[in-house]
Amino acid sequence: RSILGSLLSFTSSYLTMHKIILAGALALSCSFDAVSAFVAPGASMGKAMVAPRLRSSTSSVAGGLRMQSKADIVAPLFEANKKWIQAKKAKDPKFFDRLGSVHKPEVFWIGSADSRVAANEIIGAEPGEVFVCRNMANIVLPFDVNLMSALQYAVDYLEVQHIIVCGHYSCEGINIALNKENYASPLENWISHVRNVYRAHADVLDAIPDEEQRKRKLVELNVMESCMNVYQLAIVQNRLKMTKPTQPYSTPRIHACVYETGTGELKKINWFPEGMEDPFGMRYDES
């Protein structure tokens, strides 16, 4: 019995120690995964990538929010909201009654997350007139669940008539994509899609000697690629086929635009490739 008791005691101690070792290994594995998330592919663990420090091209906007300390962070937002409500009611007493009961925009706007490119502001639209989804560098990818969900809702449920993809010059996403360095994930993964656009059009871009003009051209090409990605989505194709027999033209219409931050001008660019079959008359909007 004493031998059996000793054996059981040893077994219990061994199992306890084994659990401790497994727990330690699991914790180490989780720590390694957390660190590796911030290390660029191919980089050694001893040299973790540092996230880029991007500086805004504008320090402040006259008449805008000015938050100087932690205590100031929230208060100005609510004060500005009160003034906005008062201004809206003074101009249109029924404004919020309509806004609270109807949501039927005809435009879905895919734009940049840049704070200088607010869709409603630059086209003079009121709240409720444009359904908006924004991300860095206005990239359209079929595995972007956020954008795909918004687009599906816009096309299938709101039945928008127009989809606008809007880029802008002086785009930070374009600028950092042109840098040679790797950035920390997930930023590196995201901007790699802009770099893919560059590679696809390298013959055109490399022929432009001026760097700023090259960036501007890449902005336009990136918008055009996003428009083509929108056009090829099953959600959009199905809607175009469905509306073709019932209307003068298939909807939604897809438009490529670029915003000039230095002048406020919004210009339209042609995105539909020459020579490509055009069963839904997309090229008509470019004439």
Q: How far, in Å, CA of 179 to CA of 176, rounded?
A: 5
Which residues are CB-contacts of 121 (< 8 A; sequence separation ≥ 6)?
none
DSSP alpha helices (H): ranges in the chain? Answer: 2-36, 75-91, 95-101, 119-123, 145-152, 172-177, 187-200, 202-205, 211-232, 234-243
Cα–Cα nearest to 133, from 164, 161, 99: 164
The three-class DSSP label of residue 146 is: helix
Cβ contact 163:256 at 8 Å:
no
Cβ contact 167:112 at 8 Å:
yes
Instruction: Establish whether 227 is an annotated binding residue.
Output: no
Q: Which residues pair with 111 in a beta bridge?
A: 134, 166
C-alpha of 251 from chain center: 23
Instruction: Establish whether 133 is an annotated binding residue.
Output: no
Cβ contact 255:162 at 8 Å:
yes
Instruction: Establish whether 278 is an annotated binding residue.
Output: no
Q: Annotated binding site for Zn(2+): which residue ranges?
A: 114, 168, 171
Q: Annotated binding site: which residue ranges?
A: 114, 168, 171
